[in-house]
A and B are shown apart, each in its own frame.
Chain A
Amino acid sequence: MKIFFRLVGLTYMLVILSACTPVKPWQRGNLALPQMALEVDAQEAALRQHTFFSKEAASGGYGGGGGGCGCN
Protein backbone atom coordinates (compact mmCIF):
# COMPACT_ATOMS: atom_id res chain seq x y z
CA MET A 1 0.00 0.00 0.00
CA LYS A 2 2.89 2.34 0.77
CA ILE A 3 4.05 2.23 -2.85
CA PHE A 4 0.47 2.95 -3.97
CA PHE A 5 0.25 6.14 -1.92
CA ARG A 6 3.70 7.20 -3.11
CA LEU A 7 2.60 6.78 -6.71
CA VAL A 8 -0.59 8.74 -6.06
CA GLY A 9 1.46 11.53 -4.50
CA LEU A 10 3.96 11.49 -7.35
CA THR A 11 1.23 11.65 -10.00
CA TYR A 12 -0.46 14.55 -8.23
CA MET A 13 2.84 16.40 -7.89
CA LEU A 14 3.72 15.86 -11.54
CA VAL A 15 0.38 17.23 -12.69
CA ILE A 16 0.68 20.30 -10.47
CA LEU A 17 4.29 20.95 -11.52
CA SER A 18 3.34 20.72 -15.16
CA ALA A 19 1.23 23.83 -14.85
CA CYS A 20 4.50 25.76 -14.45
CA THR A 21 6.13 24.53 -17.67
CA PRO A 22 3.90 25.45 -20.60
CA VAL A 23 4.85 23.59 -23.78
CA LYS A 24 4.05 25.49 -26.99
CA PRO A 25 2.42 23.56 -29.84
CA TRP A 26 5.63 23.74 -31.94
CA GLN A 27 7.60 22.25 -29.03
CA ARG A 28 5.53 19.05 -29.07
CA GLY A 29 7.25 17.27 -31.96
CA ASN A 30 8.91 14.72 -29.65
CA LEU A 31 5.57 13.93 -28.02
CA ALA A 32 4.07 13.23 -31.47
CA LEU A 33 6.66 10.53 -32.26
CA PRO A 34 5.01 7.12 -32.72
CA GLN A 35 7.07 5.61 -29.90
CA MET A 36 5.54 8.18 -27.50
CA ALA A 37 1.96 7.11 -28.28
CA LEU A 38 0.34 5.65 -25.17
CA GLU A 39 -1.30 3.04 -27.40
CA VAL A 40 1.27 2.14 -30.01
CA ASP A 41 -0.71 -0.77 -31.46
CA ALA A 42 -4.45 -0.75 -30.73
CA GLN A 43 -5.05 -4.30 -31.99
CA GLU A 44 -2.28 -5.87 -29.92
CA ALA A 45 -3.19 -3.78 -26.87
CA ALA A 46 -6.80 -5.02 -27.13
CA LEU A 47 -5.63 -8.64 -27.44
CA ARG A 48 -3.33 -8.32 -24.42
CA GLN A 49 -6.05 -6.68 -22.31
CA HIS A 50 -8.52 -9.37 -23.38
CA THR A 51 -6.03 -12.10 -22.38
CA PHE A 52 -5.23 -10.58 -18.99
CA PHE A 53 -8.94 -9.87 -18.41
CA SER A 54 -9.74 -13.57 -18.85
CA LYS A 55 -6.88 -14.81 -16.61
CA GLU A 56 -6.89 -12.21 -13.81
CA ALA A 57 -9.54 -10.77 -11.50
CA ALA A 58 -8.55 -7.15 -12.09
CA SER A 59 -9.41 -5.12 -15.16
CA GLY A 60 -10.14 -1.54 -16.16
CA GLY A 61 -8.27 1.69 -16.67
CA TYR A 62 -7.45 1.26 -20.33
CA GLY A 63 -10.84 2.38 -21.63
CA GLY A 64 -12.66 0.92 -24.57
CA GLY A 65 -14.85 -1.13 -22.21
CA GLY A 66 -16.11 -3.87 -24.48
CA GLY A 67 -18.16 -7.01 -24.43
CA GLY A 68 -17.60 -10.09 -22.35
CA CYS A 69 -16.74 -13.63 -23.29
CA GLY A 70 -17.12 -17.07 -21.79
CA CYS A 71 -13.34 -17.37 -21.55
CA ASN A 72 -11.91 -20.12 -19.36
Chain B
Amino acid sequence: MSKNIINSLSLAALALPGLMQDAHAGRAEETYNADILYGHYAESNQRMSVDIVNVSASAPIGKAFTLAVDFVSDTMSGASPMFNMKDQNGQVKQILSGASITEQRYAGVASLSYALEDVTLNFGGGVSSENDYQSGHFNTGLSWDLNKKLTTLNISASVAFDEVSPTGYNYTKSKTSQQYLLGVTQILDKHSLVQSNMTFSYQNGFLSDPYKLVFVEGGGVQSDARPGKKFQWGWLTRYARHFQDLNDAALHADYRFYIDDWGIQAHMVELQWQQPIVDEWIIMPRFRYYTQNQADFYQSVFNTQNVGSVHSSDYRLAGFGTLGGGVKIMKSFQLNGFVKDIKLQAAFDYFDRKASYQIGGNNQGSFDNFSFYMVTASVNVKF
Protein backbone atom coordinates (compact mmCIF):
# COMPACT_ATOMS: atom_id res chain seq x y z
CA MET B 1 0.00 0.00 0.00
CA SER B 2 2.64 2.48 1.11
CA LYS B 3 4.82 1.39 -1.79
CA ASN B 4 1.99 2.24 -4.15
CA ILE B 5 1.63 5.69 -2.64
CA ILE B 6 5.36 6.26 -2.95
CA ASN B 7 5.29 5.07 -6.55
CA SER B 8 2.40 7.33 -7.48
CA LEU B 9 3.97 10.34 -5.77
CA SER B 10 7.24 9.61 -7.53
CA LEU B 11 5.34 9.54 -10.80
CA ALA B 12 3.73 12.86 -9.92
CA ALA B 13 7.18 14.26 -9.24
CA LEU B 14 8.44 12.94 -12.55
CA ALA B 15 5.62 14.76 -14.28
CA LEU B 16 6.29 17.98 -12.37
CA PRO B 17 4.73 20.57 -14.64
CA GLY B 18 6.77 23.29 -12.99
CA LEU B 19 9.95 21.76 -14.25
CA MET B 20 8.96 21.92 -17.86
CA GLN B 21 10.62 24.73 -19.73
CA ASP B 22 7.42 25.28 -21.65
CA ALA B 23 4.57 23.34 -23.16
CA HIS B 24 6.75 22.11 -25.97
CA ALA B 25 9.63 20.79 -23.91
CA GLY B 26 9.20 18.27 -21.16
CA ARG B 27 8.51 14.68 -20.41
CA ALA B 28 6.36 12.53 -22.66
CA GLU B 29 2.71 13.39 -22.19
CA GLU B 30 0.43 10.62 -20.96
CA THR B 31 -2.79 12.14 -22.27
CA TYR B 32 -4.12 13.60 -25.48
CA ASN B 33 -4.67 17.34 -25.00
CA ALA B 34 -6.82 19.78 -26.94
CA ASP B 35 -6.88 23.47 -26.02
CA ILE B 36 -8.74 26.40 -27.53
CA LEU B 37 -8.30 30.03 -26.51
CA TYR B 38 -10.06 33.22 -27.58
CA GLY B 39 -8.43 36.54 -26.77
CA HIS B 40 -9.20 40.19 -27.37
CA TYR B 41 -6.59 42.95 -27.11
CA ALA B 42 -7.52 46.64 -27.41
CA GLU B 43 -5.60 49.90 -27.02
CA SER B 44 -7.07 53.22 -25.88
CA ASN B 45 -8.08 56.00 -28.31
CA GLN B 46 -9.33 53.68 -31.08
CA ARG B 47 -5.83 52.43 -31.71
CA MET B 48 -4.97 48.82 -32.52
CA SER B 49 -7.31 46.03 -31.51
CA VAL B 50 -6.68 42.33 -32.12
CA ASP B 51 -8.89 39.26 -31.94
CA ILE B 52 -6.97 36.07 -31.32
CA VAL B 53 -7.98 32.45 -31.77
CA ASN B 54 -5.46 29.82 -30.67
CA VAL B 55 -5.96 26.07 -31.09
CA SER B 56 -3.40 23.60 -29.71
CA ALA B 57 -3.23 19.82 -29.51
CA SER B 58 -0.70 17.31 -28.28
CA ALA B 59 -0.56 13.54 -28.38
CA PRO B 60 1.72 10.83 -26.99
CA ILE B 61 3.28 8.60 -29.62
CA GLY B 62 4.50 5.38 -28.06
CA LYS B 63 6.06 5.78 -24.64
CA ALA B 64 8.71 8.35 -25.41
CA PHE B 65 7.44 10.78 -28.04
CA THR B 66 5.01 13.69 -27.78
CA LEU B 67 3.79 15.53 -30.84
CA ALA B 68 2.36 19.03 -30.35
CA VAL B 69 0.79 21.39 -32.87
CA ASP B 70 -0.41 24.94 -32.40
CA PHE B 71 -2.32 27.28 -34.70
CA VAL B 72 -2.97 31.02 -34.16
CA SER B 73 -5.16 33.46 -36.08
CA ASP B 74 -4.86 37.18 -35.30
CA THR B 75 -7.34 39.65 -36.79
CA MET B 76 -5.98 43.19 -36.38
CA SER B 77 -7.59 46.55 -37.04
CA GLY B 78 -7.15 50.17 -36.00
CA ALA B 79 -4.61 52.95 -36.17
CA SER B 80 -0.99 52.87 -35.05
CA PRO B 81 1.56 55.64 -34.36
CA MET B 82 3.67 56.71 -37.38
CA PHE B 83 5.77 59.60 -36.07
CA ASN B 84 5.73 62.66 -33.78
CA MET B 85 5.80 66.34 -34.69
CA LYS B 86 5.70 69.71 -32.94
CA ASP B 87 2.57 71.87 -33.11
CA GLN B 88 2.57 75.72 -33.31
CA ASN B 89 3.14 75.93 -29.55
CA GLY B 90 6.20 73.67 -29.68
CA GLN B 91 4.35 70.75 -28.06
CA VAL B 92 5.19 67.27 -29.35
CA LYS B 93 2.17 65.44 -30.79
CA GLN B 94 1.87 61.87 -31.95
CA ILE B 95 0.61 61.31 -35.51
CA LEU B 96 -1.34 58.09 -36.06
CA SER B 97 -1.89 56.22 -39.31
CA GLY B 98 -5.46 56.28 -40.60
CA ALA B 99 -7.54 53.40 -39.28
CA SER B 100 -6.19 50.47 -41.26
CA ILE B 101 -8.37 47.93 -42.98
CA THR B 102 -8.57 44.62 -41.18
CA GLU B 103 -5.36 42.61 -41.41
CA GLN B 104 -4.87 38.93 -40.77
CA ARG B 105 -1.99 36.93 -39.34
CA TYR B 106 -1.82 33.13 -39.31
CA ALA B 107 0.85 31.21 -37.45
CA GLY B 108 1.45 27.49 -37.08
CA VAL B 109 3.97 25.64 -34.92
CA ALA B 110 4.74 21.92 -34.63
CA SER B 111 7.12 20.19 -32.23
CA LEU B 112 8.21 16.70 -31.38
CA SER B 113 9.76 15.78 -28.06
CA TYR B 114 11.55 12.59 -27.12
CA ALA B 115 11.86 11.63 -23.46
CA LEU B 116 14.75 9.46 -22.28
CA GLU B 117 15.46 8.52 -18.67
CA ASP B 118 16.88 11.88 -17.56
CA VAL B 119 16.94 13.84 -20.78
CA THR B 120 14.18 15.20 -22.98
CA LEU B 121 14.97 16.39 -26.49
CA ASN B 122 12.72 18.71 -28.42
CA PHE B 123 12.62 19.73 -32.08
CA GLY B 124 10.19 22.22 -33.53
CA GLY B 125 9.48 24.76 -36.18
CA GLY B 126 6.81 27.11 -37.38
CA VAL B 127 5.68 29.80 -39.76
CA SER B 128 3.85 33.11 -39.39
CA SER B 129 2.21 34.82 -42.36
CA GLU B 130 0.73 38.29 -42.92
CA ASN B 131 0.10 39.96 -46.28
CA ASP B 132 3.28 42.04 -45.83
CA TYR B 133 5.31 39.90 -43.41
CA GLN B 134 6.52 36.29 -43.48
CA SER B 135 8.48 34.51 -40.78
CA GLY B 136 9.75 30.99 -40.31
CA HIS B 137 11.69 29.45 -37.44
CA PHE B 138 13.29 26.25 -36.17
CA ASN B 139 14.17 25.40 -32.61
CA THR B 140 15.72 22.61 -30.65
CA GLY B 141 16.05 22.11 -26.93
CA LEU B 142 17.34 19.75 -24.30
CA SER B 143 16.22 19.43 -20.71
CA TRP B 144 18.36 17.30 -18.43
CA ASP B 145 17.46 16.15 -14.90
CA LEU B 146 20.38 16.06 -12.49
CA ASN B 147 20.93 15.71 -8.77
CA LYS B 148 18.12 13.14 -8.20
CA LYS B 149 15.78 15.30 -10.28
CA LEU B 150 16.18 18.25 -7.89
CA THR B 151 17.88 20.19 -10.66
CA THR B 152 16.89 20.49 -14.31
CA LEU B 153 19.19 22.04 -16.87
CA ASN B 154 17.57 23.61 -19.94
CA ILE B 155 19.40 24.45 -23.15
CA SER B 156 17.72 25.57 -26.34
CA ALA B 157 18.52 27.29 -29.61
CA SER B 158 16.30 28.82 -32.26
CA VAL B 159 16.78 30.56 -35.55
CA ALA B 160 14.18 32.67 -37.38
CA PHE B 161 14.08 34.12 -40.89
CA ASP B 162 11.76 37.10 -41.46
CA GLU B 163 10.83 38.94 -44.64
CA VAL B 164 8.90 42.21 -44.92
CA SER B 165 7.33 43.51 -48.15
CA PRO B 166 5.70 46.74 -46.96
CA THR B 167 2.38 47.73 -48.49
CA GLY B 168 2.83 50.74 -50.78
CA TYR B 169 6.56 50.13 -51.31
CA ASN B 170 8.22 48.06 -53.97
CA TYR B 171 10.86 46.14 -52.01
CA THR B 172 11.35 43.10 -49.81
CA LYS B 173 13.86 43.08 -46.96
CA SER B 174 14.88 40.34 -44.58
CA LYS B 175 16.38 39.69 -41.19
CA THR B 176 17.78 36.67 -39.37
CA SER B 177 17.45 36.10 -35.63
CA GLN B 178 19.22 33.59 -33.44
CA GLN B 179 18.34 32.94 -29.81
CA TYR B 180 20.10 30.71 -27.29
CA LEU B 181 18.72 29.87 -23.87
CA LEU B 182 20.59 28.46 -20.90
CA GLY B 183 18.55 27.80 -17.80
CA VAL B 184 18.36 25.88 -14.56
CA THR B 185 15.37 24.88 -12.46
CA GLN B 186 16.06 23.97 -8.84
CA ILE B 187 13.77 22.46 -6.22
CA LEU B 188 14.63 24.41 -3.08
CA ASP B 189 12.51 22.52 -0.54
CA LYS B 190 9.15 20.80 -0.22
CA HIS B 191 7.37 24.08 -0.89
CA SER B 192 9.44 26.10 -3.31
CA LEU B 193 11.39 26.05 -6.53
CA VAL B 194 13.32 28.58 -8.58
CA GLN B 195 14.15 28.81 -12.28
CA SER B 196 16.75 31.07 -13.80
CA ASN B 197 17.06 31.43 -17.59
CA MET B 198 19.42 33.49 -19.67
CA THR B 199 18.77 34.20 -23.32
CA PHE B 200 21.29 35.56 -25.78
CA SER B 201 19.83 36.86 -29.04
CA TYR B 202 21.46 38.18 -32.16
CA GLN B 203 19.57 39.77 -35.05
CA ASN B 204 20.96 41.03 -38.31
CA GLY B 205 19.45 42.41 -41.50
CA PHE B 206 16.63 44.92 -41.88
CA LEU B 207 15.65 45.83 -38.31
CA SER B 208 13.88 49.13 -39.11
CA ASP B 209 10.11 49.55 -39.17
CA PRO B 210 9.02 50.40 -42.74
CA TYR B 211 5.79 52.03 -41.53
CA LYS B 212 7.44 54.40 -39.08
CA LEU B 213 8.90 57.82 -39.87
CA VAL B 214 10.88 60.47 -38.03
CA PHE B 215 10.10 64.20 -38.13
CA VAL B 216 13.08 66.49 -38.71
CA GLU B 217 12.49 70.12 -37.76
CA GLY B 218 13.20 72.20 -40.84
CA GLY B 219 13.76 69.05 -42.91
CA GLY B 220 10.46 67.22 -43.36
CA VAL B 221 10.14 63.51 -42.58
CA GLN B 222 12.56 60.61 -43.10
CA SER B 223 12.17 56.83 -42.90
CA ASP B 224 12.86 55.00 -39.64
CA ALA B 225 16.49 53.79 -39.84
CA ARG B 226 18.00 51.46 -37.23
CA PRO B 227 21.32 49.66 -37.02
CA GLY B 228 21.58 46.47 -39.09
CA LYS B 229 22.35 44.28 -36.10
CA LYS B 230 21.32 43.91 -32.51
CA PHE B 231 22.60 41.86 -29.59
CA GLN B 232 20.18 41.23 -26.71
CA TRP B 233 20.69 39.62 -23.32
CA GLY B 234 17.83 38.74 -20.99
CA TRP B 235 18.01 37.13 -17.57
CA LEU B 236 14.76 35.87 -16.10
CA THR B 237 14.43 34.42 -12.61
CA ARG B 238 11.16 32.81 -11.53
CA TYR B 239 10.30 31.74 -8.02
CA ALA B 240 7.28 29.70 -6.94
CA ARG B 241 6.28 29.02 -3.34
CA HIS B 242 3.50 26.83 -1.97
CA PHE B 243 1.51 27.80 1.16
CA GLN B 244 -0.05 24.73 2.80
CA ASP B 245 -1.91 26.71 5.49
CA LEU B 246 -3.58 28.95 2.91
CA ASN B 247 -5.48 26.14 1.19
CA ASP B 248 -2.47 25.21 -0.98
CA ALA B 249 -2.11 28.72 -2.43
CA ALA B 250 0.96 29.50 -4.52
CA LEU B 251 2.99 32.68 -4.99
CA HIS B 252 4.81 33.22 -8.27
CA ALA B 253 7.39 35.99 -8.57
CA ASP B 254 9.31 36.72 -11.80
CA TYR B 255 12.07 39.24 -12.35
CA ARG B 256 13.85 39.90 -15.65
CA PHE B 257 16.81 42.10 -16.38
CA TYR B 258 17.40 42.97 -20.03
CA ILE B 259 20.13 44.85 -21.87
CA ASP B 260 20.91 45.32 -25.57
CA ASP B 261 23.53 47.07 -27.64
CA TRP B 262 21.02 49.69 -28.82
CA GLY B 263 21.38 51.25 -25.38
CA ILE B 264 18.23 49.88 -23.80
CA GLN B 265 18.12 48.46 -20.29
CA ALA B 266 14.85 47.12 -18.94
CA HIS B 267 13.49 45.58 -15.76
CA MET B 268 10.32 43.52 -15.42
CA VAL B 269 8.63 42.29 -12.25
CA GLU B 270 5.57 40.08 -12.25
CA LEU B 271 3.72 38.73 -9.21
CA GLN B 272 0.90 36.18 -9.23
CA TRP B 273 -1.06 34.68 -6.36
CA GLN B 274 -2.91 31.47 -7.15
CA GLN B 275 -5.60 30.88 -4.54
CA PRO B 276 -7.61 27.64 -4.62
CA ILE B 277 -11.07 28.38 -3.22
CA VAL B 278 -13.40 25.39 -3.30
CA ASP B 279 -14.30 22.56 -5.73
CA GLU B 280 -11.20 23.13 -7.88
CA TRP B 281 -11.89 26.82 -8.44
CA ILE B 282 -8.69 28.89 -8.44
CA ILE B 283 -8.59 32.69 -8.49
CA MET B 284 -5.37 34.39 -9.51
CA PRO B 285 -4.77 38.12 -9.05
CA ARG B 286 -1.60 39.31 -10.79
CA PHE B 287 0.50 42.43 -11.16
CA ARG B 288 3.20 43.43 -13.67
CA TYR B 289 5.60 46.36 -13.84
CA TYR B 290 7.96 46.99 -16.76
CA THR B 291 10.42 49.83 -17.30
CA GLN B 292 12.94 50.66 -20.02
CA ASN B 293 15.15 53.60 -20.95
CA GLN B 294 15.28 54.92 -24.50
CA ALA B 295 17.49 53.59 -27.32
CA ASP B 296 20.64 55.59 -28.12
CA PHE B 297 19.19 56.70 -31.47
CA TYR B 298 15.65 57.48 -30.26
CA GLN B 299 14.26 60.99 -30.14
CA SER B 300 10.65 62.09 -30.21
CA VAL B 301 11.53 64.75 -32.81
CA PHE B 302 14.86 65.34 -34.59
CA ASN B 303 16.55 68.40 -36.09
CA THR B 304 18.92 68.62 -39.06
CA GLN B 305 21.97 68.53 -36.76
CA ASN B 306 21.11 65.43 -34.75
CA VAL B 307 19.14 63.26 -37.19
CA GLY B 308 22.21 61.31 -38.39
CA SER B 309 21.99 58.15 -40.46
CA VAL B 310 20.47 56.02 -37.67
CA HIS B 311 17.28 57.36 -36.06
CA SER B 312 13.90 56.27 -34.77
CA SER B 313 10.87 57.81 -33.04
CA ASP B 314 9.17 54.43 -32.51
CA TYR B 315 7.31 54.63 -29.17
CA ARG B 316 8.65 51.14 -28.36
CA LEU B 317 12.22 52.48 -28.33
CA ALA B 318 11.30 55.43 -26.05
CA GLY B 319 11.83 55.52 -22.29
CA PHE B 320 8.66 54.46 -20.48
CA GLY B 321 7.09 52.20 -17.90
CA THR B 322 4.03 49.95 -17.98
CA LEU B 323 2.05 49.21 -14.86
CA GLY B 324 -0.88 46.86 -14.75
CA GLY B 325 -2.46 43.68 -13.68
CA GLY B 326 -5.60 41.69 -13.62
CA VAL B 327 -7.32 38.60 -12.44
CA LYS B 328 -7.69 35.09 -13.80
CA ILE B 329 -10.24 32.45 -12.79
CA MET B 330 -9.78 28.73 -13.38
CA LYS B 331 -12.09 25.78 -12.80
CA SER B 332 -11.21 22.12 -13.32
CA PHE B 333 -13.55 19.16 -13.70
CA GLN B 334 -12.05 15.69 -13.12
CA LEU B 335 -13.95 13.06 -15.10
CA ASN B 336 -13.53 9.30 -15.30
CA GLY B 337 -14.74 8.58 -18.82
CA PHE B 338 -13.25 9.13 -22.26
CA VAL B 339 -12.60 12.73 -21.24
CA LYS B 340 -10.32 12.76 -18.19
CA ASP B 341 -10.15 16.43 -17.34
CA ILE B 342 -11.72 19.71 -18.47
CA LYS B 343 -10.35 23.09 -17.43
CA LEU B 344 -12.06 26.43 -18.05
CA GLN B 345 -10.06 29.65 -17.72
CA ALA B 346 -10.93 33.32 -18.12
CA ALA B 347 -8.80 36.41 -17.50
CA PHE B 348 -8.90 40.19 -17.70
CA ASP B 349 -5.81 42.43 -17.51
CA TYR B 350 -5.39 46.19 -17.85
CA PHE B 351 -2.09 48.01 -18.45
CA ASP B 352 -1.19 51.68 -18.36
CA ARG B 353 1.88 52.66 -20.40
CA LYS B 354 3.30 56.05 -19.43
CA ALA B 355 6.57 57.88 -19.97
CA SER B 356 6.45 58.99 -16.33
CA TYR B 357 6.38 55.36 -15.10
CA GLN B 358 9.98 54.91 -16.27
CA ILE B 359 12.17 54.15 -13.28
CA GLY B 360 14.37 57.12 -12.41
CA GLY B 361 12.07 59.62 -14.12
CA ASN B 362 11.40 60.82 -17.63
CA ASN B 363 10.73 64.34 -18.88
CA GLN B 364 9.55 63.37 -22.37
CA GLY B 365 5.94 64.41 -21.68
CA SER B 366 2.74 62.47 -22.14
CA PHE B 367 2.26 62.60 -25.94
CA ASP B 368 2.82 58.85 -26.47
CA ASN B 369 1.02 57.48 -23.39
CA PHE B 370 -1.67 54.87 -23.91
CA SER B 371 -3.39 52.02 -22.12
CA PHE B 372 -4.54 48.60 -23.24
CA TYR B 373 -6.53 45.66 -21.96
CA MET B 374 -6.59 41.95 -22.72
CA VAL B 375 -9.41 39.48 -22.19
CA THR B 376 -8.95 35.74 -22.66
CA ALA B 377 -11.13 32.68 -22.27
CA SER B 378 -10.00 29.12 -22.85
CA VAL B 379 -11.02 25.49 -22.61
CA ASN B 380 -8.43 22.73 -22.04
CA VAL B 381 -9.49 19.11 -22.46
CA LYS B 382 -7.48 15.98 -21.63
CA PHE B 383 -8.48 12.62 -23.14
Contact = CB atoms under 8 A, between A and B. Distances in A.
Given A26-B6, A32-B15, A34-B17, A59 B160 contact: no
A70 B191 CA distance: 42
Contacts of A56: 266, 290, 292, 316, 322
A58 B237 contact: no
Contacts of A45: 22
Given A55-B316, A58-B258, A43 B56 contact: yes
Contact of B139 (A4, A32, A65): A65
Contacts of B252: 38
B20 A39 contact: yes
B132 A70 contact: yes
Contact of A32 (B16, B127, B136, B276): B16
Contacts of A72: 48, 80-81, 209, 211
Contact of B244 (A3, A30, A42, A64): A30
Nearest to B317: A57
Interface string A7-38: 10001001101100111011111111111111
B266 A31 contact: no
B18 A36 contact: yes
A18 B189 contact: yes
Main secondary structure of the interface of B (DSSP, over half): strand
B37 A69 contact: no
B41 A51 contact: yes
Nearest to B254: A61
A15 B152 CA distance: 12
Interface string A40-52: 1111111110011
Size band of the A side of the interface?
A: 35 or more
Contact of B264 (A4, A25, A35, A57): A57
B201 A44 contact: no
Nearest to B107: A67
A15 to B, nearest CB: 5
Contact of B376 (A31, A44, A65, A67): A44
B322 A22 contact: no
A8 to B, nearest CB: 8
Interface of A: 3-4, 7, 11, 14-15, 17-18, 21-23, 25-48, 51-52, 55-70, 72
26 contacts: A4-B267, A11-B237, A14-B186, A15-B184, A23-B187, A28-B9, A31-B13, A31-B16, A33-B248, A35-B242, A36-B193, A38-B19, A38-B195, A40-B284, A43-B54, A43-B70, A55-B316, A56-B316, A57-B258, A60-B236, A61-B181, A61-B258, A65-B156, A65-B179, A65-B181, A66-B128
Given A31-B13, A46-B54, A69-B135, 16 more contacts: A7-B237, A18-B150, A18-B194, A28-B13, A35-B282, A38-B20, A44-B328, A57-B316, A59-B258, A61-B181, A62-B22, A62-B236, A65-B179, A65-B181, A66-B128, A66-B137
A-B CB proximity, top 10 nearest: A61-B236, A60-B234, A42-B23, A70-B133, A60-B199, A58-B258, A58-B266, A37-B17, A65-B158, A35-B274
